[in-house]
Amino acid sequence: MNRRESIASVPGKIILFGEHFVVYGNPAILMAVDLRLDVFVKVIQNSNKIYIRSDDKKNVADLINFELKNGKLSFFDPIMFTCKMIFKQRMIQDMGLDIKIKSAIPNGIGLGSSGAVSVATTAAISSLFKKTNKKNVYIDAMETEKLIHKYSSGADCLISTVGGLVYYIKDQKYKKINYKDNLSFLIIDTGIKHSTKKMVQKVKRFSEKENMQFLQIKKVAYDICNEAMKKIQKSDEVEIGRLMKENHKLLKQIGVTNKAIERIIKISDKAGVFGSKLTGAGGGGSVISLVPSDEKKRIERIIKKQGYDVFPVRIDNNGLVFKKIDSL
Ligand code: MEV
């Protein structure tokens, strides 16, 4: 039985440990955060038009004529690709869609907005046609994610789908991490948008040029991530903070930090955080700081005074949620 409309909602994410190295088979620790992105989809009968509206952008295009062109992808291309893929799988014809995206996840700052769009769009569109589940949504969303950057580890789509706190190795089963107490994080936006694709390519060049050095750094990153997992289970904030600093040093060595990130880390250290590091691809984007929960407000004020946007986030344990489904 087909449906007339559906809504899917997913969280953004931060990477606590292991970004970039996860692309090369290392583990990473991921946390879903309570900044959500919702996709609303309505069926338009006897049409081939796909209407897409996001907070500040809109587009209408014919699905039949849609082809991906070589070169830079527009914001709408991955969404059109998702529509085409699902329509092909389900042998759907003569149907248009009205897609609305509402997001509290800022884009281009390492909080998983592109993965979130892929997961939520896939979920909302597939659930129009037949019952789907998180696993199938993840598999399909990864097809779209690989368009955006072909070496994607799948980490961003995975955490948006399953939520919570996760120990993740590419192409293997992930593990949910049980923790004693909630950890308090601040996300600080450098104000500099980055391209994940370009940063991943930069690390790839480094790994090829300085192969021995890269392998050594990767081994240290591996040990840090495994140790961090144990400390997180015990909610040992002092040790987690120390390991975040160690992890950041490695990211510096592979060339993905910049002046803005280093400045924020200095300001945060001075304000009394347990530890900070860049999160996601780097080259701009965001810094995360682990803070004592009773000091969160005070530290947030200090960083804001320096002119930065700060997001105090909590863990999101739900991941992908199918919000409302209406049968025809
Ligand atoms: C981007 O959020 C995380 C990276 O490790 C890339 C990836 O895992 O695909 C930089």
In short, whether 280's Cβ falls inside 6 Å of ligand 1 is yes
> Over 80: is that where the pLDDT of 1 sits?
no
Report the residue among 105, 152, 157 best suited for mutation to probe ligand 1: largest number of ligand atoms under 8 A from its CB: 152
Query: Tokens representing 77?
Result: 């291309």
C-alpha 102 to ligand 1 mean position (Å): 23
Residue with the nearest Cα to atom 3 of ligand 1?
Answer: 280
Atom of ligand 1 nearest to the CA of 21: 5
The enclosing domain of 150 has a CATH number of 3.30.230.10
**Which pLDDT band holds residue 129 (cuts at 50, 70, 90)?**
confident
Distance 120 CA to ligand 1 centre (A): 18
Q: Given the CA of residue 279, which atom of ligand 1 is nearest to it?
A: 2
pLDDT digits (tens, 9 = 90+) for 256-266: 999 999 999 99
Please tell me the distance between residue 100's alpha carbon and the centre of ligand 1 in angstroms.
26
CATH number of the structural domain spanning residue 199? 3.30.70.890
- Answer yes or no: do 138 and 103 share one domain: yes
Residue 217 and residue 140 share a domain: no
pTM, two decimal places: 0.95
Structural domain boundaries enclosing 295: 184-314
Quick one: 149 and 188 in the same domain?
A: no
For 10-50, how does the pLDDT look when each residue is reduced to its tens digit (9 = 90+)? Answer: 999 999 999 999 999 999 999 999 999 999 999 999 999 99
128 plus 84 within the same structural domain? yes
What average pLDDT does the chain have? 94
Domain total in the chain: 2
Within this chain, do residues 135 and 266 fall inside the same structural domain, yes or no? Answer: no
Residue 172 sits in the same domain as residue 212: no
Closest by CA to 205, choosing from 256, 137, 242, 166, is: 256
Mean of pLDDT values over 163-171: 97
User: Which atom belonging to ligand 1 lies closest to the Cα atom of 200?
Assistant: 10
Average pLDDT over residues 185-206: 96
Own/partner pairs for 250-255, CB < 8 Å, 24+ apart?
250/21, 250/217, 250/220, 250/221, 250/224, 251/19, 251/20, 251/277, 251/278, 251/282, 253/213, 253/217, 254/20, 254/203, 254/206, 254/207, 254/214, 254/217, 255/202, 255/203, 255/206
Residues 211 and 251 in one domain: yes
285 Rama sector, left if φ>0, alpha if ψ -120 to 50, beta otherwise: left
Q: What is the pLDDT of residue 328?
A: 45
Looking at the structure, do residues 42 and 162 belong to the same domain, yes or no?
yes
Q: Are residues 40 and 142 in the same domain?
A: yes
Q: What pLDDT digit, counting tens, does each position of 264-298 carry? A: 999 999 999 999 999 999 999 999 999 999 999 99
Task: Give me the count of residues in the chain.
Answer: 328
**189 close to 311: Cβ distance less than 8 angstroms:** yes
Mark whether 84 and 132 lie in a shared domain: yes
Which protein residue's CA is at the shortest distance from atom 2 of ligand 1? 280
- Which residue has its alpha carbon closest to ligand 1 atom 1? 280
- The dihedral built from the CA positions of residue 74, 79, 285 and 72, taken in this order, carries a sign that is negative
- What is the C-alpha to C-alpha distance for residues 48 and 92, in angstroms, rounded to an integer? 10
Is 325's pLDDT higher than 90? no
Q: Is the Cβ atom of 156 under 6 angstroms away from ligand 1?
A: yes
Residues 166 and 189 occupy one common structural domain: no
- Whether 302 and 323 share a structural domain: no
Q: Tell me the C-alpha distance between 68 and 76, whole Å.
A: 11
